[in-house]
């Protein structure tokens, strides 16, 4: 699979004079449609892109321009958002804020350059709590010009599904779930491509959490290695493979060597559950080289903030009253406020203090940018696009707002987003 892709890219480079970035745009069509998926042994009617759940894996070399045509085959609206990718605002795929929903039978052509290598994903951003939970998501991989040497590069998507007593997708809206930790499925699974690897192989695993509300703490059996990237962005120093933590929307890249049967076990809840694994057969001598950091992307540098904002997370079961009209609110407003949380000139840095006053955890995601998590002393930590806060936790983030447009900032627990936890930032 990987070999044939390399051959294909090499072919493109020859035709277009050896400069990959100047090659013609990579073309894709994404058609959301109704599908019958096999889930836990049951035939379940779900949604997919091009007939599959998850949607097709999109891969592009860093710097390339991609053109993706959304052809809506559903009998409801559709939109696609490119989570974590720094795209022009009008390509961001957010209902109302950046474009109107594509109506049934209609199409929309997304066109953008992929500036940063890493693990990203795409998903519906129209009634997303519903459409994503029914299957409208897929992986979007941007490959380094000079990728690390591995035997296999495998995307793993951790997803949960709520089935009813008839083993069909549960369409009920449970207020008790929307006001607490969200809609949590009773089936958890790890979608992996049908590959087989050998003991001793060096793998790159790209873990993505497209689940709408569920948080995972993954124990990775059968592999020793390091975490090399979070939310697509390379870590300056690879980290040890402690249980891998993934809140909705977050990603984690791992490089490591196979030592036995590979399985992904969720140890977040008291009851551990096995989500899936990768088939191992045969063996080879393991690579003896150390795991190096991935090449850094060219990103803005941390700068002293010229703007600050407070973002208070409110609402949910058992919480104090707030001024919003929904279950959840940000700064006393439920849903997108008329005026943005911040309005800045392009290139300004902002510090946002996020204070979780609810009794539940949340994961705040900013579109169009990555940001630094700041520690108590104000020092910069991980560079991410989604930050996780436990109940009552406070976290400051620092962001250089260099991408013009109207950018959504919301809880990626999509049941919380739909019921109030969304705001936006304006960059001129
Ligand atoms: Cu995955 Cu508004 O985002
Ligand atoms: Cu939330």
> Could you give the CA distance from residue 133 to residue 161 in angstroms, rounded to a whole number?
7
pLDDT tens-digit profile of 348-369?
A: 999 999 999 999 999 999 999 9
Per-residue model confidence (pLDDT) at position 23: 62
Atom of ligand 1 nearest to the CA of 417: 2
For ligand 1, whether the C-beta of 322 sits within 6 Å is: no
pLDDT tens-digit profile of 291-337?
A: 999 999 999 999 999 999 999 999 999 999 999 999 999 999 999 99
For ligand 1, whether the C-beta of 230 sits within 6 Å is: no
- Number of the ligand closest to the Cα of 416: 2
- Number of the ligand closest to the Cα of 407: 1
Determine the distance separating the centroid of ligand 2 and the alpha carbon of 362, expressed in angstroms. 4
Per-residue model confidence (pLDDT) at position 341: 98
Pair 226, 189: CB distance under 8 Å: no
For ligand 1, whether the C-beta of 410 sits within 6 Å is: yes
For ligand 1, whether the C-beta of 125 sits within 6 Å is: yes
Residue 6 confidence (pLDDT) above 90: no
Q: Pick the residue whose CA is nearest to atom 1 on ligand 1.
A: 83
3-state DSSP: the chain helix, strand, coil percent, rounded to 5?
Answer: 10, 50, 45
Q: Which residues fall within 8 angstroms of residue 187, CB to CB, at 6 or more apart?
A: 39, 40, 160, 161, 162, 163
- Chain mean pLDDT for the chain: 93
Specify the 3-state DSSP secondary structure of 70: strand
pLDDT tens-digit profile of 262-298?
A: 999 999 877 788 899 999 999 999 878 999 999 999 9
pLDDT-based confidence at 145, cuts 50/70/90?
very high
Determine the distance separating the centroid of ligand 1 and the alpha carbon of 97, expressed in angstroms. 13
Atom of ligand 1 nearest to the CA of 84: 1
> Could you give the CA distance from residue 332 to residue 325 in angstroms, rounded to a whole number?
9
Residue 10 confidence (pLDDT) above 70: no
What average pLDDT score do residues 186-197 get?
95
């Amino acid at each position: 699979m990987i070999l044939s892709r390399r051959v294909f890219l090499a072919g493109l480079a020859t035709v277009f004079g050896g400069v990959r970035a100047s090659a013609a745009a990579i073309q894709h069509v994404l058609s959301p449609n109704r599908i019958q998926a096999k889930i836990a042994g049951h035939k379940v009617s779900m949604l997919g892109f091009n007939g599959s759940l998850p949607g097709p894996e999109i891969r592009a070399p860093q710097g390339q321009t991609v053109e993706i045509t959304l052809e809506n085959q559903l009998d409801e609206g559709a939109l696609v958002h490119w989570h974590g990718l720094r795209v022009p605002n009008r390509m961001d795929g957010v209902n109302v804020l950046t474009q109107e929903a594509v109506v049934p039978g209609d199409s929309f052509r997304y066109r953008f350059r992929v500036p940063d290598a890493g693990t990203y994903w795409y998903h519906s951003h129209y009634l997303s709590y519903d459409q994503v939970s029914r299957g409208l998501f897929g992986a979007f991989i941007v490959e380094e010009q000079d990728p690390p040497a591995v035997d296999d590069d495998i995307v793993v998507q951790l997803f949960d599904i709520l089935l009813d007593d008839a083993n069909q997708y549960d369409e009920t809206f449970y207020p008790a779930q929307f006001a607490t930790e969200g809609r949590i499925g009773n089936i958890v699974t790890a979608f992996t491509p049908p590959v087989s690897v050998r003991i001793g192989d060096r793998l790159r695993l790209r873990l993505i959490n497209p689940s709408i509300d569920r948080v995972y703490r993954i124990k990775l059996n059968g592999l020793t290695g390091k975490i090399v990237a979070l939310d697509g962005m390379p870590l300056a120093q690879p980290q040890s493979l402690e249980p891998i933590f993934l809140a909705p929307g977050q990603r984690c890249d791992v490089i490591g060597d196979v030592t036995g049967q590979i399985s992904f076990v969720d140890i977040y809840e008291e009851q551990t559950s096995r989500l899936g694994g990768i088939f191992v057969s045969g063996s080879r001598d393991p690579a003896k080289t150390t795991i190096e950091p991935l090449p850094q992307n060219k990103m803005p540098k941390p700068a002293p903030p010229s703007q600050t904002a407070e973002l208070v997370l409110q609402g949910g079961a058992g919480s104090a009253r707030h001024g919003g009209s929904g279950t959840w609110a940000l700064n006393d407003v439920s849903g997108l406020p008329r005026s943005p949380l911040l309005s800045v000139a392009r290139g300004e840095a902002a510090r946002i203090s996020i204070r979780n006053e609810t009794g539940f955890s949340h994961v705040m995601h900013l579109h169009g940018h990555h940001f630094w998590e700041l520690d108590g002393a104000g020092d910069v930590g991980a560079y991410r696009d989604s930050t996780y806060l436990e109940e009552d936790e406070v976290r400051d983030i620092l962001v250089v707002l260099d991408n013009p447009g109207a950018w959504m900032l919301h809880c990626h627990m999509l049941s919380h987003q739909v019921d109030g936890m969304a705001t936006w930032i304006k960059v001129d």
